[in-house]
Amino acid sequence: MKKRNSLKWQMLRLLALGWIVPLTVILVVFLVVVSGRIDRQSQRIINTSMEKAADISILRLLDCIDSSKDASYLSYIGDYWAEYQSSGDSGNLYNQVTTFLSAHYKYDPSFDITVLIFTDEPDTLYYTGNTTGRGSVSRFKFFTDSVKDKALEISEDLDTRTEFFAMDGHVYMIRNLLGRGFKKYALLVMEINPEEVFESLKSVWEYRGMDVSFNGERLYGEGNYNTSGGFISCDRKSVDGFFTFSVAYDATAVGLERRSINITFLILLIFLLPLVLLMFFFFNSRINRPIATLTAASKKIADGEYGEVVEEPKGHSGEIADLTRNFNKMSTKLGEQFNKIFVEEIALRDANIHALQSQINPHFLNNTLEIINWEARMNGQEKVSSMIEALSVMMSATMDRNRQSLIALSEELEYVNAYIYIIKCRYQDRFIYEEHIDKALFHVMVPRLIIQPVIENAVEYSYSEDGIRRVRLEIEGTQDNEKIDMRIKIINPGVPSDEDFAKIKELLTDTMDIKPLEERSTRIGIRNVHRRLRILYGAESGLTIETDGNNNTISTIFVKN
């Protein structure tokens, strides 16, 4: 017998053809240890510089916020405003306010311009600019034309907070000035010098651009932030919100640190390339393709296409060839077994449905005939005719001459209405019935006679203190693509006794044996409905009967398509 050419020995022979072991060790040492260390060190430098830059930026922003508080906590501006309201000297007020602004903010490089607006006189602006040259008249004009209205709008809901916002590349900080009783009398708007406040972000290694946001809104951007290199961000919390500092850096510079490693790797690659190509061809033809074919076939079996077989690889021997042959044998046998089980299951299901549908007790029909007989004696023929028509509808539903296991919900409701008419004739004013049905569900297909037996059960066990039997029917559904899951609720007053609940629990079990029970027809009916739904739709569908804690019983039919 020819010695078997196993996959294991083929792989060992191929691996022995070159210097795979020593070259792999060298490659791992250079790439994993050295290159990894360089990458971690470079990233650590970037992270550290970014963390420090973000800390410096947030400290400068907090300094800006503290500086703005001088206008609020120092009473000068409030005193000036109170003096103006008494004297009416607007010139004196202007000189006092601008002198205060100049003294506190003109020489602060963090602010380009500072503007104060009194709420009662929003058209008069009190202004000072920075001495560095950035506090130009053009900035004040831009504020007057484009920013003032937005600042007034923001101040309406600002309360005591400090807010930041941006307009066409200008960054502004705004806060309200509050007097006695925390009543706003003015607002302070300060244009921040981003080159001063965010200067530290440029110290991040290989910096290319920045982006600053406040509470998710972009405040400032500089440089080539949209570069294809790396990005790093830091979040910092201020008194009234969160700042997000993002920096773009040149990732290629990090790669330059690994240039010597890459050169070594290329040299090793030249030596390894023939062996890699040889092993690639081997694994692709002997392992990858057969495994891919088997995977596709197994997926078809998982999707229900039992009996799927694949072509055995020609000229191949070893484990893969054995696996393919065994797979084909298993798939063929599985298909035969599934077909046999499927035929048996269909036959069993049809037998169970037929047995359940044949369990309709004539008790209801006998009661109906007695009522019709009584009406015929006591009244004229019109009401009797109506009752006979209703009974005819019920009999047609139970006889099922067309052998339709599923009908539209609208047709099922016709049987319900026929039954309700008969019950109203029986109980007269002592019976009240309500319907709440989504008409969009009328076309949904449901099993025949799944609602009427449950309503009949609700009528029989319905009771209330005023002696009136009440039943409410609610039908709703949810749609997922073409499938509609429907929930049918029958609500009636009264709570069954513990003994009755125990019998209901026994009736609504999932066992499929069909044994005659010495029970009322209503109880047999609810068992019939529950088991038919389980057979047709699976374990998620069925009938439940519960109480709602308000002396009501709720019977719920759930149909999951």
Q: Tell me the average pLDDT across 171-193.
A: 90
Whole-number mean pLDDT of the chain? Answer: 78
Domain count, the chain: 2
Q: Decide if pLDDT at 352 tops 70.
A: no
Q: Decide if pLDDT at 388 tops 90.
A: no
Give the range among 83-97, 247-261, 537-551 with minimum mean pLDDT: 247-261
Of 232, 257, 282, which marks where a domain is finished?
A: 257
| Residue 338 lies inside a defined structural domain of this protein | no
pLDDT at residue number 143: 93
Size of the chain, expressed as the number of residues it contains: 561
CB-CB contact of 57 with 200 (8 Å):
yes
User: Is the pTM higher than 0.75?
Assistant: no
pLDDT at residue number 62: 92
Distances from the Cα of 243 to the Cαs of 50, 398, 414, in angstroms?
14, 72, 66
Whether 237 and 381 share a structural domain: no
What domain range is 241 assigned to?
16-257
Q: Decide if pLDDT at 350 tops 70.
A: no
| Residue 156 lies inside a defined structural domain of this protein | yes
pLDDT at residue number 402: 58
- Higher pLDDT residue, 390 or 64? 64
The alpha carbon dihedral of 362, 366, 371, 377 has a sign of: positive
Reported as a pLDDT band with limits 50, 70 and 90, residue 1 is very low
Whether 390 and 247 share a structural domain: no
Specify the DSSP class assigned to residue 512.
Answer: -
Q: Decide if pLDDT at 225 tops 70.
A: no
The alpha carbon dihedral of 56, 154, 157, 112 has a sign of: positive
Q: Decide if pLDDT at 165 tops 70.
A: yes
| Residue 377 lies inside a defined structural domain of this protein | yes
Whether 540 and 396 share a structural domain: yes
| Residue 335 lies inside a defined structural domain of this protein | no
User: Could you give the percent of the chain with pLDDT greater than 70?
Assistant: 71
| Residue 285 lies inside a defined structural domain of this protein | no
> What span, in angstroms and rounded, lies between the C-alpha atoms of 184 and 79?
14
> What span, in angstroms and rounded, lies between the C-alpha atoms of 457 and 484?
26
Reported as a pLDDT band with limits 50, 70 and 90, residue 407 is confident
Q: Tell me the average pLDDT across 58-81.
A: 89
Q: Decide if pLDDT at 18 tops 60.
A: no
pLDDT digits (tens, 9 = 90+) for 452-479: 888 888 888 887 777 788 888 787 777 6
Q: Decide if pLDDT at 10 tops 70.
A: no
What CATH number is associated with residue 544?
Answer: 3.30.565.10
Give the range among 37-46, 82-91, 152-161 with minimum mean pLDDT: 37-46
Of 235, 257, 279, which marks where a domain is finished?
A: 257
Of 257, 291, 309, which marks where a domain is finished?
A: 257
**Range among 233-247, 251-265, 274-288, 531-545 with highest mean pLDDT value:** 233-247
Whole-number CA gyration radius for the chain: 42
